[in-house]
Chain A
């Protein structure tokens, strides 16, 4: 295998190299350098640059954080969400326990039982958010795309106990009913044109 492209760190072809003069050794040359540096007016160029930025309006980079927020990438792994099934409104979780198995920080606990139709249902599900490292393995392994990572990164509390409660991570019923539950757009999700790609299963080969 050819590694040339991997080893080439010059991402752009128009890289600019700064030419650095050699340090003068003779005292005449040093004096020349001192005089040129003194009279070049580089200090005033610096003064003008900052003054220009000061008098230019609306070039501030500051984001007034609690009032303004930067958009979060759809693949950002923040607080978990547990989705509901679109058809029935039930929790999408089938209680397979894969997320508990794969969790490398051991923070997911899932308790299941057999329900009335012999289906496995979830009795209790907790994520210790204080331990969670937000690696995203649980979301990746979930066969039903039930547990996903949301965009809500402002989870702070004074109580450690608050970091284990999972009841609020399930999509609330009112939000679900108003159709605001956003399906997980990250890895494993259906693509936008998934319907177009569906082909009829041939009955005979």
Chain B
């Protein structure tokens, strides 16, 4: 293996880590602002112009808060759980191509903005994101707290069931493309976006994405009104912050995968270059994540299970069946 390749990969990893950690923090600011405007408030206003530096203040607060480990908690597992949340979210990004290939100006060095171009990219992303489920599960079970335990139980019923939905939703477009590599899927959509052929699969994947990142209509894991903060009840300081960073990084991964698989990825659109295009799509999807949080109420766990097993799974199977019949 060339040393230049290793250096390039390390630089890519550092860039992705820093950019997405910063983006995760900045998204919390955007979320608070958008939610505030939708609820006829102002949101953070005092730190910096229009409260932009609120993220910085929150960061200082999170880093300097006491890191409490409750009595009778299983200490090693309690300490490692948030690390799983953040690391699994970032590892999942390693197989996601963020931008089209570009050449560094004034050199002829071509950069492919993907850390590891594995030929089963989408499978890798799904698998690692599913591993992230261990974070709330272990956190909840190690916390020695009844709310955390309920949150852990909900983790299993929610994330585990919706992994099936997202898998079934992605099978149909994969059948059309015939490849698991995200770059192949992206290149397939130079003409039409896959969402034109697979609208049902797109909706199913978005619903499953909401459930897997535990965003609002399905944020049963940390449903404040019912179980305090669920699995994160006992966490404080930077360990809680790692959960938050993991959640927002997962949101970005889901948004990137949805735009790559269904919305045409980083193909250029008329005169708009591909890099701008994918940023627009991801921003729109992230905005949709925040928008629903202001508009829609939570569902109950039994409604969630009903939706998952009685509605979405049959829909996904029928979708695959019809896709198969059409392909034959």
**Chain A residues within CB distance 8 Å of chain B:** 43, 46-47, 49-51, 53-54, 59-62, 64
Does A53 contact B39, Cβ atoms closer than 8 Å?
yes
CA distance A60 to B43 in the complex (A): 10
Of the candidates A43, A49, A54, which one forms a contact with B37 in the assembled complex, judged by CB atoms under 8 Å apart?
A54
- In-complex Cβ contact of A64 among B39, B40, B45, B292 (8 A): B45
Q: Which residues of A contact B294 (CB under 8 A)?
A: 50
What residues make up the interface of B, taking CB atoms closer than 8 Å to A?
34, 37-42, 45, 291-292, 294-296
The interface residues of chain A lying within 8 Å CB-to-CB of B40 are: 53, 59-61
Taking A51-B291, A53-B38, A60-B37 as known contacts, 12 extra A-B pairs with beta carbons closer than 8 A to each other, sorted by chain A number, are A43-B296, A46-B296, A47-B295, A49-B295, A51-B38, A53-B40, A54-B38, A60-B41, A60-B42, A61-B41, A62-B41, A62-B45
Q: How far is the CA of A46 from the CA of B293 in the complex (A)?
A: 11
Q: How far is the CB of A146 from chain B (nearest CB, A)?
A: 41
B38 cross-chain contacts in A, Cβ below 8 A: 50-51, 53-54
Which of A46, A54, A62 is in CB contact (< 8 Å) with B42?
A: A62
What chain A residues lie within 8 Å of B292 (beta carbons)?
A: 47
Query: What are 19 contact pairs spanning A and B, CB under 8 A?
Result: A46-B295, A46-B296, A47-B291, A47-B292, A47-B295, A50-B38, A50-B294, A50-B295, A51-B38, A51-B291, A53-B40, A54-B34, A54-B37, A54-B38, A60-B41, A60-B42, A61-B40, A62-B41, A62-B42
B41–A53 touching, CB < 8 Å? no
A-chain residues with CB within 8 Å of residue B34 when the two chains form the complex: 54
Please indicate the chain A residues that have their CB under 8 angstroms from the CB of B45 in the complex: 62, 64
Point out the residues of chain B lying under 8 angstroms from A43, CB to CB: 295-296
Closest 10 CB pairs of A and B: A50-B38, A62-B42, A46-B295, A54-B37, A50-B294, A50-B295, A54-B38, A47-B295, A62-B41, A61-B40
Q: What's the Cα separation between A59 and B34 when bound, in Å?
A: 14
Of the candidates A50, A59, A62, A64, the one whose C-beta lies within 8 Å of that of B291 is: A50
State in angstroms the CA–CA spacing of A80 and B181 once bound together: 75
CA distance A53 to B42 in the complex (A): 12
CA of A189 to CA of B37 in the docked complex: distance in angstroms?
45
- Shortest beta-carbon distance from B92 to chain A in Å: 28
* Cα of A59 to Cα of B37 in the assembled complex, Å: 9
**Cα–Cα distance between A46 and B295 once the two chains are bound (Å):** 5
CA of A47 to CA of B294 in the docked complex: distance in angstroms? 8
Note all chain A residues with C-beta closer than 8 A to B295. Answer: 43, 46-47, 49-50
Q: Please measure, in the bound complex, the distance between the C-alpha atom of A43 and the C-alpha atom of B307, giving whole angstroms.
A: 15
B37 to chain A, nearest CB (A): 4
Q: Which residue of B lies closest to A42 (CB)?
A: B296
B residues near A60, Cβ cutoff 8 Å = 37, 40-42
For residue B37, which residues in chain A have a CB less than 8 angstroms away from its CB?
53-54, 60
User: Residues of A contacting B39 with CB < 8 Å?
Assistant: 50, 53
| A46, A49, A50, A64: residue with the most chain B Cβ atoms closer than 10 Å | A50
Q: How far is the CB of B316 from chain A (nearest CB, A)?
A: 16
**Residues in A neighbouring B296, C-beta threshold 8 A:** 43, 46-47
CB distance from B48 to the nearest CB of A (A): 15
What residues of chain B lie closer than 8 Å to A53, measured between beta carbons? 37-40
